[in-house]
Chains A and B, each alone.
Chain A
Amino acid sequence: MSSTMDVDPPTTQMIQINLSTRDPTLSIPLQPLRIPTNLKRYGLSTLVNHLLDTPKPIPFDFLVDGQYLRTSIDEYLTLAGLSSEKPLDVEYVRSQLPPTYVGSFEQDDWISSVDISSSPSPTILTGSFNGTAQITSLSGEILAKTVPMHTQSIKCTTWISHSSTEASFLTAGLDRTINLWSYTPSQSPDTQPVTPSTTYISHKSTITSLSYSPSTSQFLSSSSDHTIALWSTDSSLLPTVSTPQSTAFTRKRRRTTSKPPATIKKGPLAVLTPHAAPVSQVLHSNDPTAAYSISWDKSIITHDLITSQPVSTRTTNHPLLSVTTLPTLSLLAAGSSARHITLHDPRESSKTIYTAVLRGHANGVVSLVNSPESEYVFASGSHDGTVRIWDVRSVSSSDGDEGEGKSGSSLFVIKRESGSGKVFGVDWSKDVGLVSVGEDKKIQVNRGEGMADMEVMDQSK
Chain B
Amino acid sequence: MTTKATTRKRSRAEAEAEKPVLSSEDEFEIPEINGDEDSSDDSDFTAGDEDSDEEEEISSGAEDEEDEEEIDSDEIPSEDETSPKGNGVANDDASDDEEASPADNVKVVTGADGNPRYIYPEIEPVYDSDDTDAEETNTVGNIPLEYYENYPHIGYDINGKRIMRPAAGKALDTLLDSIELPKGWTGLVDKNSGAALNLTEEELEIVKKLQRSEITDEGFDPYPDMVEWFSSKVEQMPLSSAPEPKRRFVPSKHEQKRIMKIVRGIREGRILPHKPQAETSQEPEFYDIWADDAPPKPDHVMNIPAPKLPPPTHDESYNPPPEYLPNDKEKKEWEEQDPEDREKNYLPRTHKALRLVPGFNGFIGERFERCLDLYLAPRVRRNKLNIDPASLLPKLPSPDDLKPFPTTCATVYRGHEGRVRSVAADPTGVWVATGGDDGTVRVWEILTGRQVWKLKVSSDEAVDSVTWRPTTEGRILAAACGNEILLVVPPIFDFEEENQGKEILSAGYGYAANRQGKKEAPGTWSKPDTALEEEGVVVTITMRKTVKYIAWHRRGDYLVTVSPEDVRRAVCIHRVSTHLSQTPFKEKSVTKGIPQRVQFHPSKPLLFVATKRYIKIYDLAKAELSKTLKPGARWISSIDIHPQGDNLIVGSYDKRLLWHDLDLSTKPYRTLRYHDKGIRAVSFHRGGFPLFCSSSDDGTVQVFHGRIYSDLMENALIVPLKVLKGHKITAHLGVLDVDWHPKQPWLFSAGADGTARLWN
With A224-B428, A250-B535 given, name 17 new contacts (CB 8 A): A153-B445, A174-B492, A176-B494, A205-B494, A206-B445, A244-B495, A250-B491, A250-B534, A252-B491, A252-B534, A278-B429, A296-B743, A297-B743, A337-B447, A337-B744, A339-B408, A422-B449
Most chain B Cβ neighbours within 10 Å, of A246, A297, A439: A246
- Tell me the nearest residue of chain B to A337, going by C-beta: B760
- Bound CA–CA A186/B337 (angstroms): 106
Give B residues with C-beta under 8 Å from A.
400, 403-404, 408, 410-411, 428-430, 445, 447-450, 452, 491-499, 502-503, 533-536, 743-744, 746, 760
**A205-B447 CB under 8 A given contacts A247-B502, A277-B743, A363-B410:** no
A-B contact pairs, 11 of them (CB 8 A): A204-B496, A206-B445, A225-B494, A248-B534, A253-B491, A277-B429, A278-B429, A296-B744, A321-B447, A338-B404, A366-B447
Could you tell me the distance in whole angstroms from the C-beta of A424 to the nearest C-beta in chain B? 7
In the bound complex, residues from chain B placing their C-beta under 8 Å from that of A321 are: 447
Give A residues with C-beta under 8 Å from B.
110, 112, 129, 152-153, 174, 176, 203-206, 224-225, 244-248, 250-253, 277-278, 296-297, 317-319, 321, 337-339, 362-364, 366, 383, 401, 422, 424, 439
Would B429 and A422 count as touching, CB distance under 8 A? no
Could you tell me the distance in whole angstroms from the C-beta of A93 to the nearest C-beta in chain B? 33
Could you tell me the distance in whole angstroms from the C-beta of A126 to the nearest C-beta in chain B? 15
Chain A interface SS verdict (over half): loop
Chain B interface SS verdict (over half): loop
Contact of B445 among A174, A244, A246, A317 (CB under 8 A): A174
Could you tell me the distance in whole angstroms from the C-beta of B346 to the nearest C-beta in chain A? 48
In the bound complex, residues from chain A placing their C-beta under 8 Å from that of B491 are: 246, 250, 252-253
Contact of A205 among B430, B535, B744 (CB under 8 A): B430
Would B499 and A247 count as touching, CB distance under 8 A? yes
**A206-B430 CB under 8 A given contacts A244-B496, A424-B448:** yes
**A318-B404 CB under 8 A given contacts A244-B495, A422-B448, A422-B449:** yes
- Bound CA–CA A253/B497 (angstroms): 16
- Bound CA–CA A383/B429 (angstroms): 19
Would B743 and A152 count as touching, CB distance under 8 A? no
- Tell me the nearest residue of chain A to B746, going by C-beta: A337
In the bound complex, residues from chain B placing their C-beta under 8 Å from that of A319 are: 744
- Bound CA–CA A318/B403 (angstroms): 10
**A244-B744 CB under 8 A given contacts A174-B445, A362-B408, A383-B410:** no
Could you tell me the distance in whole angstroms from the C-beta of B407 to the nearest C-beta in chain A? 9
- Tell me the nearest residue of chain B to A321, going by C-beta: B447
- Bound CA–CA A244/B494 (angstroms): 9
In the bound complex, residues from chain A placing their C-beta under 8 Å from that of B496 are: 204, 244
Would B450 and A110 count as touching, CB distance under 8 A? yes
- Tell me the nearest residue of chain B to A203, going by C-beta: B494
In the bound complex, residues from chain A placing their C-beta under 8 Å from that of B452 are: 152-153, 174
Would A153 and B450 count as touching, CB distance under 8 A? yes
Contact of A383 among B400, B404, B411, B746 (CB under 8 A): B411
- Bound CA–CA A337/B743 (angstroms): 14
Would A248 and B449 count as touching, CB distance under 8 A? no
- Tell me the nearest residue of chain A to B453, going by C-beta: A152
Would A246 and B495 count as touching, CB distance under 8 A? yes
Contact of B495 among A129, A245, A252, A297 (CB under 8 A): A245
**A296-B429 CB under 8 A given contacts A364-B760, A383-B411:** yes
Would A248 and B494 count as touching, CB distance under 8 A? no
- Bound CA–CA A245/B496 (angstroms): 8
Could you tell me the distance in whole angstroms from the C-beta of A284 to the nearest C-beta in chain B? 24
Complex A-B, nearest 5 residue pairs according to Cβ-Cβ distance, in ascending order: A244-B495, A204-B494, A250-B534, A224-B430, A251-B534
In the bound complex, residues from chain B placing their C-beta under 8 Å from that of A153 are: 445, 450, 452
- Tell me the nearest residue of chain B to A384, going by C-beta: B410
- Bound CA–CA A176/B535 (angstroms): 19
Could you tell me the distance in whole angstroms from the C-beta of B536 to the nearest C-beta in chain A? 7
Could you tell me the distance in whole angstroms from the C-beta of B376 to the nearest C-beta in chain A? 59
In the bound complex, residues from chain B placing their C-beta under 8 Å from that of A225 are: 428, 494
In the bound complex, residues from chain A placing their C-beta under 8 Å from that of B494 are: 176, 203-205, 225, 244
In the bound complex, residues from chain A placing their C-beta under 8 Å from that of B536 are: 248, 250
In the bound complex, residues from chain A placing their C-beta under 8 Å from that of B400 are: 401
In the bound complex, residues from chain B placing their C-beta under 8 Å from that of A224 are: 428, 430
- Bound CA–CA A297/B741 (angstroms): 13
Could you tell me the distance in whole angstroms from the C-beta of A32 to the nearest C-beta in chain B? 44
In the bound complex, residues from chain A placing their C-beta under 8 Å from that of B430 are: 205-206, 224, 278
Would B410 and A152 count as touching, CB distance under 8 A? no
- Bound CA–CA A424/B445 (angstroms): 13
Would A337 and B410 count as touching, CB distance under 8 A? yes
Would B404 and A204 count as touching, CB distance under 8 A? no
In the bound complex, residues from chain A placing their C-beta under 8 Å from that of B428 are: 205, 224-225
